[in-house]
A and B are shown apart, each in its own frame.
Chain A
Amino acid sequence: MVLGKEQRVIVPIIKVVGDFCNLRCSYCFYHGQDQSSLHVMDDKLLGNFLNQYMTLFTGKLTFIWHGGEPLLAGLPFFEKIVLLQNQFHREHQKIRNLIQTNGTLINKDWALFFKAHNFRVGISLDGNRKSHNRFRMNETGAGSFDQVIRGIGILREYGLEPGFIQTVTSDNIDNVEEDFNFFANDLKIKKWGINVYCNSDGDNKAMLNQDVSNTEFTWYLKEYIKLWLDKDSEKLLIREIDNFFTGALKKKPSSCSFNGSCVYHFCLDYDGKIYPCDRSSNHPDLLLGDLSKQTLLEVLTGSKRVEYINNVTQLPSNCLDCKWKAVCNNGCSMLRVGGITGKDYYCETRKAIFEYVEKLIQKYINLAERQGGEKHERIECH
């Protein structure tokens, strides 16, 4: 079922400038695409999309503005977005805007805009200077660390605290402690997520031998959990740790790559083409439709999307008797071996970390009970 009774909002990820970017990060999904040509979504398409989307959906609407580097669309473009959202706003709609940026172009004007319109900002930062500059470079090959740190400083100057995404590769995996300390102690970041590099297609020649193996990623996450426990802060949120703990507690994890909400997203590219996700936006075989030729409703209810949903949600046979099935959902569809119907590349890691975390929780419960502390009667472990 594509749009059943339980269906509410399908979240759009909008690539306002296509693949265009001022950086040339070696591991980028769009590495090998044309990242040098400026394409900005035209006003007509933007207005058409927002009008249709805000007519189709009601309630709490999330817009994820993405790239390439979305700030390259320019501030007037984003001012137009806010204007159009206000124009098409209907009763009972609440809007939240999220933007993911590399942070290098942030200045006072952007900070004031984000503040004024309550945009939540996500920044890509791989860790300390050494880890970040390894693969996040500009066109001349120079690392972007200083520019990003400068951008973060400007946001904070205006009272904005961004979230962060760190990408882990084989080359920076040994820098785990330094990177954790950099985030938690030096930058005093309260929340970040970990993306892991895996190019199962092997089509990115700039990242040969950079895939993180299951053994490496399992080790890495365990190290992270130990560092997180050592830090011992109730307020420190690391997306992956949060997902594993929540899942081990038989609660619904928050991330799309754990909770099965992957199919409730779509990606609108600058030219009107619609894909399931920004990660799949350069995969012609996963193209769902084209807003310049079809209505949004036609695309979202179309046969291509039905086929995609069926393929993504049909779990491989080895998932069926896995105790973590309901809190794993076979991971990110773009990290599956052999395509979206395959098994999650990090299946082994996920099982190992769920088991590890489950034992930690049990240890905590036992200790709390022994100490006569707060009872956690509602906590149930697998």
Chain B
Amino acid sequence: MKGLNAIKGILERSKNQPDVNTSVTSSKWNDHGDWDDSGSWADWEDGGEPFDDWIDQE
């Protein structure tokens, strides 16, 4: 089967992705043509403090 290395690579990378039901608020890649691959996406997503000041302001 061709592509074993390619698929292996994607499987490895997917381990760093959150599970499907995880709520996410950002994109490592987006459709505007820009992206960032420094560190894992999960690392980036988990950073920062929760934005508690904004809770239920509406």
**Are B47 and A232 in contact, with the CB atoms below 8 A?**
no
Contact of A165 among B1, B20, B27, B33 (CB under 8 A): B33
**Are B27 and A242 in contact, with the CB atoms below 8 A?**
no
Which A-chain residue is minimally distant from B52 (CB atoms)?
A5
Using A59-B48, A229-B7, A245-B10 as known contacts, say yes or no to A251 and B29 having CB atoms under 8 A apart: no
Of A8-16, A108-116, A131-139, the segment with at least 4 beta carbons within 8 Å of chain B is: A8-16
Produce 1/0 per residue, A74-96, CB < 8 A to B. 00000000000000000010101
**How many A residues are at the interface, by size bracket?**
35 or more
Q: Which of B15, B20, B52 has the most CB atoms of chain A within a 10 A radius of its CB?
A: B20
A376 within 8 Å of B by Cβ? yes
Cβ contacts under 8 Å, A361 to chain B? 7, 11
Using A236-B6, A254-B28 as known contacts, say yes or no to A367 and B1 having CB atoms under 8 A apart: yes
Closest chain-B Cβ to A121's Cβ sits at a distance in Å of 8
Q: How far is the CA of A301 from the CA of B57 in the complex (A)?
A: 8
Interface residues of A in 175-232 (CB under 8 A from B): 191, 193, 195, 228-232
**Are A332 and B2 in contact, with the CB atoms below 8 A?**
no
Which A-chain residue is minimally distant from B34 (CB atoms)?
A98
Q: How far is the CA of A366 from the CA of B50 in the complex (A)?
A: 42
Cβ contacts under 8 Å, A57 to chain B? 48, 51
**Are A257 and B31 in contact, with the CB atoms below 8 A?**
yes
Chain B residues within CB distance 8 Å of chain A: 1-15, 17-38, 41, 44, 47-52, 54-58
17 contacts between A and B (CB under 8 A): A8-B50, A59-B48, A96-B38, A98-B36, A122-B35, A123-B33, A193-B31, A193-B33, A195-B33, A229-B3, A234-B6, A234-B8, A242-B13, A246-B13, A255-B27, A256-B27, A301-B58
